[in-house]
Chains A and B, each alone.
Chain A
């Protein structure tokens, strides 16, 4: 048992104690699979918030008197292991539904498993559009705003810029490639006179930042669309700032406003980039403030975006379970289509048409505040406004 699990277990025991009297009956078990050892930076805050949400649900009496219980599994970033563990959770641990997934290919593998074994799978994080569109299936639902949605949010801002010559830089795998493809397509549609003068696809996690920055600079673009994140982003920003790549150029950047990726940059966080992200310290809404404070009390740390995703996945599942009297999969899937729940970010619906939730993202620009990166002039972009029309969705999801 891991250190965190012991801690978490103790926490569950302590907090669940008062609820226990009320929440009786056999616990409802959720099977959660994620790349905990491969992606700890995102997934530790994710699991912390997951546990917090579960404790809150149980303290409030559980689901119709039954406690929620989660069995966590680590796929180590390998889709084939995720499939094996899914089998274990369903067959040996007797979980009622599956959830989780960080990497897109793990998400797709689990989705296919769910489809084959007729189990509900609530994908929390994987961003790939294929999960709900080209390879979407009846049993799979996704919470997080997809690559398409987040690209569309940024295109809206990018189209307002005067820049005509664009360059793109993205990690060389499906997420990076799709993001660039959507960005190009949507921006060209919104502003037919833009041209894309350079593109770079560094290997994920192994960017040769100096050469990449220089290659972009050589094309002399007016603006840059960035999809790199994590260590690649840090190295890209460092080389780019020293070499003056970002001077007199606007940068539009996916995910960069998320504390997971912005905070490691410290006082070197880039300023005035247009980003999607999560300005956790500034969001004072009735749904977000209690979450932030509860998270702080429970974990003595501030929430990251992963925390929101973890917390809301549990809340979505809780809303689902409250809606259905039975744990039978077909009934769960039925109830999940069109399910509405109050997320930390606002009301969210799992669309019946493609099983994508309407959770949005915050769009704003980066600023430096007290030697730390932060977001300013941000707004919440509701996911429902950034999805293609139903007719288009039907062509993108022909099988369903």
Chain B
């Protein structure tokens, strides 16, 4: 019994830490709708800066608490800089485009932190006055954890006062509810956004700095916190502070007690919670439905027409190069081209649901990975030949696309995207933990092509044919009546349903189709690499797919193709050239975002249309 009390207290302390980070994220999202991937980096910077300040300042209360507050303020300023220099310029870009920009910031911060603070984990001093522990029900409990349990509610109360008792807070709440109206009433939105970003970043920095007496400061802090913070924000309801607090509490306690019963649940628990909550409550625990978008929000999606002749010629020329050139290249170049072809299909499949479908997916790698596992499991357990494995890949991915999609497409916006992430993580953890069947994180080895397809060149042509075929098929789908229906429900569900389109069914089928296409890509990838690992459906791969689509441009059909080529090609080159590839890739992404807010293909089209009139 005593142990359970302490377990509950431990859960509270974790919940409180989690809330601090999540509160900043939810405040930022509520007002600016920016999915701020860099929030974890700000948290990490908070911890590192606090370490530097606390270890340089004189010891004692002033040095420690001054260092913590100073770090939080500095991180607030860094966030402010990011907003002013980067995000402010792209608010009008398509939804989620800011995610690309913030991801660039993540990459940059990772390398800068490594260069500044070195590779070794740093251990900060404990908090003065809170070093020891107290006896609670006869057992010892750290004082600092008690302090943390108190910090969460205090911050929540302060934020509540700020939002409900000041003019600024009222404006922020108004903007959370209806941005355009606040702008129309003459409120300086720029100042509002910038100040909100400052506050949100400050909270992230504070969250990081307060971990100093508790955890080591290390280079993995950013990515380890960001998903959990997002989960808390989404489970609580986007933009809802009390929701975030409730969600943090729920997750902290479930985790503390969950590990008593099922110790291996740590990998998947938060995602199970998120999936359950979102299936039951599509807008999180305390979230409100997003206000219906008015025409003015962002730019209206352009109508997709047939490709202009010049583009067709360009595409044909590229195809000719892709077919004729490889026999003259070395094995390595051919294997890179194979990978490019696979990623083109992967990006194109995500684009189908993101562009024409109008639903973002943060978990598209699930279907890529399921395809790969479908092929690999068939090879390993059934001794299936390669072609059978490749046929099974889209089937497996498609079936799971139907199952997961059934729940995901009922939701909208970031909720839908986060539910796809939850399912992807659940699939990932099954692949990770079901060691007897999937080999766990050691993966399935020896998934090599049949003898006839073993030469790199043959396999390349096979991959090219399948990927190109599938990509063209997806393109055809967009131009078919199904594609029109898909776009119709995206632009206005209400009107689409009024003319007899079953929006849910259309979205659902679109989702499953995209999943099956990603499965083809995954199957080809499995045989191309000879092995399959859970990383194939991990978050980084989902993020890669998102980056490709956003980089190329969501609003054009050629966007994902160009994005996949640019992103994969760039990364492949940089990794071989330099240790600092993350820094350089991050800078390139940031610059591309600033100069091509419509994506690469979008920018090319805009230029084309400016010169030749609307095609």
The interface of chain A, by Cβ under 8 A from chain B, is 1-5, 36-37, 40-41, 44, 73-74, 76, 78-81, 83-85, 87-88, 90-92, 104-105, 108-109, 111-113, 116, 128, 130, 135, 172-174, 177, 199-203, 205-206, 208-215, 217-218, 230-231, 234-235, 238-239, 242-244, 260, 263-266, 268
Any chain A CB within 8 A of the CB of B163? no
Instruction: Decide: A109 near B219, CB < 8 A? Known: A74-B581, A211-B256.
Output: no
Any chain A CB within 8 A of the CB of B587? no
Instruction: Decide: A130 near B442, CB < 8 A? Known: A199-B263, A201-B264, A238-B215.
Output: yes
Main secondary structure of the interface of A (DSSP, over half): helix
**Which of B258-307 touch A at CB < 8 Å?**
259-260, 263-264, 266-267
Query: Which of A74, A112, A242 contacts B142 (CB under 8 A)?
Result: A242
List, sorted by A's number, 28 A–B pairs whose CB atoms are closer than 8 Å.
Answer: A1-B577, A5-B579, A79-B531, A80-B525, A81-B575, A84-B336, A85-B575, A87-B331, A91-B332, A92-B330, A109-B533, A112-B446, A128-B442, A172-B264, A199-B263, A202-B259, A203-B267, A205-B220, A208-B259, A210-B13, A211-B259, A217-B139, A218-B260, A230-B218, A235-B215, A244-B133, A264-B123, A264-B216
Contact A214 B6 (CB under 8 A): yes
Any chain A CB within 8 A of the CB of B116? no
Contact A105 B142 (CB under 8 A): no
A40 to B576, CA, bound (A): 17
Contact B582 A203 (CB under 8 A): no
Return the chain A residue nearest B4 by Cβ: A218
**Which of B328-369 touch A at CB < 8 Å?**
330-333, 335-336, 339
Contact A88 B332 (CB under 8 A): yes
Residues of A within 8 A of B219 (CB): 40
Contact A211 B443 (CB under 8 A): no
Query: Which of B119, B140, B215, B536 contacts A80 (CB under 8 A)?
Result: B536
Instruction: Decide: A2 near B578, CB < 8 A? Known: A210-B10, A242-B140, A244-B140.
Output: yes
A257 to B579, CA, bound (A): 29
Residues of B within 8 A of A173 (CB): 432, 440-441
Min C-beta distance of A41 to chain B, whole Å: 4
Contact B259 A212 (CB under 8 A): yes
Min C-beta distance of A114 to chain B, whole Å: 11
Which 3 residue pairs spanning A and B have beta carbons closest together? A2-B579, A40-B119, A234-B216
Any chain A CB within 8 A of the CB of B145? yes
Return the chain B residue nearest A111 by Cβ: B445
Query: Which of B145, B215, B441, B582 contacts A37 (CB under 8 A)?
Result: B582
Residues of B within 8 A of A212 (CB): 259
Residues of A within 8 A of B145 (CB): 210
Instruction: Decide: A1 near B448, CB < 8 A? Known: A87-B331, A210-B145, A214-B10.
Output: no
Contact A174 B442 (CB under 8 A): yes
Residues of A within 8 A of B448 (CB): 116
Min C-beta distance of B578 to chain A, whole Å: 5
Min C-beta distance of A365 to chain B, whole Å: 21
**Which of B456-508 touch A at CB < 8 Å?**
none
Any chain A CB within 8 A of the CB of B596? no
A84 to B569, CA, bound (A): 13
Instruction: Decide: A200 near B263, CB < 8 A? Known: A37-B579, A174-B440.
Output: yes
Query: Which of A37, A218, A243 contacts B133 (CB under 8 A)?
Result: A243
Residues of A within 8 A of B266 (CB): 172, 201-203, 206, 208
Contact A242 B133 (CB under 8 A): yes
Any chain A CB within 8 A of the CB of B224? yes
A199 to B262, CA, bound (A): 10
Contact B263 A201 (CB under 8 A): yes
Query: Which of B3, B139, B214, B535 contacts A235 (CB under 8 A)?
Result: B214
A143 to B577, CA, bound (A): 28
Instruction: Decide: A104 near B441, CB < 8 A? Known: A80-B535, A231-B121.
Output: yes
Residues of B within 8 A of A177 (CB): 435, 440
Any chain A CB within 8 A of the CB of B58? no
**Which of B570-584 touch A at CB < 8 Å?**
572, 575-582
Instruction: Decide: A231 near B264, CB < 8 A? Known: A83-B529, A211-B10.
Output: no
Contact B535 A105 (CB under 8 A): yes
Residues of B within 8 A of A203 (CB): 266-267
A217 to B540, CA, bound (A): 36
Min C-beta distance of A251 to chain B, whole Å: 17
